[in-house]
Amino acid sequence: MQLYDAMSTLRAVRRLRPDPIPDDVVDRVLQAACWAPTGGNTQPWKVIVATDPDVRAGLQAIYRPEWQRYAAQVLARLDGLPDDVAEPQRRVVSAGDHLANHLHEAPAILVFCANPAAMAITDANLDRISMVGGASVYPAVQNAMLACVAEGLGCTLTTLHCLREPEVKDLLDIPDSWATVALVPIGYPVGRGHGPITRKGPRVMAARDALAALTLEGISDLVPTYRSLTVHFDPLQLDRDTLGKALLQAAASPDQKSAPATRWLIPGTFG
């Protein structure tokens, strides 16, 4: 499989068969993770391959209630949105429900953890949430997931277990000074597994020279009736949910009903 093919078909596969994964396949997935770059080439992470039924059941007992709380919040945000807008998210929640209810049946669960003391966390003292440390861990997670695509394994990246990290550490005997950063159940998929993905491309995700110049175009997934939209907004101040609600409200207004192609300016300021 070509690298671009793997990257362009890596999607969250939450419905997994309980069939065991051959050791040599797991070894190749783990080797791919180990090839990932890290700051200073220190590899300050480890991965636990949970296959013992009791350990997997313990992880599911931790994960499921946190997913249920999160899913309830997502569904509440969908109230009042048109079905063609809300339904894709409802399908994601349904797949997530399946994962939460059957996580313990996945033949292997990869739990990535990291040692912050071995990282050069250059943003630790900035007045915001620190993010740099993830640069020495998540490339390994991504490599493992791309290898899953190549091996025909389904997988998905989850982090809700971090809300109950002390319990995860107790279950997996992880030192107190370490952090858990990702939980990735893997297994052969129910159904077709990985396939075409629908994500925004560089026209809306990349800006040349300055982020303030970023333009979000073709937001037809949020307002399907209006197929040609251009929205200028402050990407540091406006999240996707707020943008979607603003566009839906504008699309429903009488003066916009007859306009199949239009432009809205969503004000925002950098601060």
Distant-in-sequence, close-in-space partners of 224: CB < 8 Å, separation ≥ 6: 84, 85
Taking 70 as the threshold, does the pLDDT of residue 262 lie above it? Answer: no
Distance CA 188, CA 150 (A): 12
Mean local confidence (pLDDT), 68-86 = 90
Taking 80 as the threshold, does the pLDDT of residue 224 lie above it? Answer: no
Distance CA 71, CA 67 (A): 6
Q: Burial code of 248-258, b = ≥16 C-beta within 10 A, e = fewer?
A: bebbeeeebee
Taking 80 as the threshold, does the pLDDT of residue 57 lie above it? Answer: yes
Mean local confidence (pLDDT), 3-27 = 96
Q: What is the pTM of this model?
A: 0.79
Taking 90 as the threshold, does the pLDDT of residue 64 lie above it? Answer: yes
Q: How confident is the model at residue 263 (pLDDT cuts 50, 70, 90)?
A: very low
Q: How confident is the model at residue 225 (pLDDT cuts 50, 70, 90)?
A: very low
The DSSP string of 68-80 is: HHHHHHHHHHHTT
Mean local confidence (pLDDT), 236-240 = 53
Mean local confidence (pLDDT), 157-174 = 97
Distance CA 214, CA 1 (A): 34
- What local confidence, expressed as pLDDT, does residue 139 receive? 97
Report CA Rg, the chain: 21
Q: For the range 76-84, what are the long-range contacts, defined as Cβ-Cβ under 8 Å and sequence gap of 24 or more?
A: 77/241, 81/244, 81/245, 81/248, 82/248, 84/224
Mean local confidence (pLDDT), 104-125 = 96
- What local confidence, expressed as pLDDT, does residue 218 receive? 42
Mean local confidence (pLDDT), 152-177 = 97
Distance CA 261, CA 220 (A): 11
**Higher per-residue pLDDT: 146 or 251:** 146
- What local confidence, expressed as pLDDT, does residue 2 receive? 92
Give 224's DSSP letter. Answer: T
Distance CA 96, CA 174 (A): 26
Q: Comparing C-alpha atoms, which of 149, 196, 144, 186 is closest to residue 1?
A: 149
- What local confidence, expressed as pLDDT, does residue 199 receive? 87
Q: Comparing C-alpha atoms, which of 117, 146, 145 is closest to residue 133?
A: 117
At which residue do the structure tokens 């013992």 appear? 52
